[in-house]
Amino acid sequence: MRILSGGHDFEGRSYVADVPFFILNMFYFRSISIDAKSQTAWVGAAATLGETYYAITQFNSSLAFPAGYCPTIAFGGHAIRGGTGASFGVILAYKIKLVEVPKKFTAFSLTRTLQQNATKLVHQWQSVAPKLPADLLISLQLTTVKSSRTGKSTVAATFVSAFQGGVDELLYIMQENFPELGLVKGDCTELSWVEYIAFHFGLPKESTYDMLLGKIAALPKDYFKAKSDLVQRPIPEEGLKKIWNLMKKMESPPGRMEWIPFGARMDEIPESEIPFPHRAGNLFLGQLQCHYTPP
């Protein structure tokens, strides 16, 4: 039996098998109901994160649920973290606790190439990002690009940030913790927490609701293999340069990685607390993507 929540899965494990099988499709279990008094919500197993975010922000824009920023993941696939091993069951819905968020969010997206000191910035980011205040997240997107000066392959590092607060406070925190990035007020955009989902993917905030509800026109088919790992010690500059050399060999399609720091609430929960590996001792999660053109 394969249980299909309906969201995306890189490996297709919910709808393929090496032996004859059947699919238990949870597609119709996608209702979302919110209780204002308790600030909780019941979410059907097949509702996507995008649909959940949309329902919450329509109900009360000052409430949110901290989950992934990829809207096409079904809630059942996002929340499951292991079982007892004694039996099995099929979960129809989840009761979640909502959190209060400020109406004002600030975001920035800054790109630096290897010729713009990206290696040193990435090296420093590994020590800075996991230690930032809990209200500030700076993830890192690494992509092979063509140099505008030489026409040769290089690596671009894009620092993408979400901050629960205003621009002035963000600039102060960055000056105190990561002045080398050179963030200025003109680099920052104020938006709501839910609009950051579109911002993270380089889309205008006006397209947020269409993105959350899956109404944006389909992009060209993209074939890739993705693998994630957890990094416990900063990679030295020499190690980063070896990674860049490997990435530069992947020109078309380009090589890509995304590094996401933890810290904050993640570090407050012991590794043995629940079956979930993203705990104290890990600086960040690195997702490696190899894109390719099928024969």
The backbone torsions φ and ψ at residue 109, rounded to the nearest 5 degrees and listed phi first, read -140, 110
pLDDT tens digit string along 80-111?
665 555 567 788 999 999 999 998 899 999 99
Read off the amino acid at residue 112: R
pLDDT tens digit string along 69-78?
888 889 887 7
Q: Can you tell me which residue has the tokens 């001792």?
A: 281
Judged on CB neighbours under 10 Å (0-12, 13-18, 19+), 157 is buried
Q: What is the pTM of this model?
A: 0.89
Give me the pLDDT at residue 55, please: 97
Give me the pLDDT at residue 54, please: 96
For the CA atoms of 146, 123, 225, 210, what is the dihedral angle to 10 degrees? -80
Do 74 and 110 have their domain in common?
no
Instruction: Compute the distance between CA of residue 266 and CA of residue 284 in angstroms, rounded to an integer.
Output: 11
Number of domains in the chain: 2
Q: Which of 55, 73, 100 is the last residue of a domain?
A: 100
Question: Which segments in the chain show pLDDT lower than 70?
Answer: 80-87, 217-220, 274-280
Provide the residue range defining the domain that includes 168: 105-188+219-292
Domain with 161 in it: what CATH number? 3.40.462.20
Do 58 and 161 have their domain in common?
no
Give me the pLDDT at residue 275, please: 63
Give me the pLDDT at residue 220, please: 62
Do 183 and 237 have their domain in common?
yes
Do 33 and 56 have their domain in common?
yes
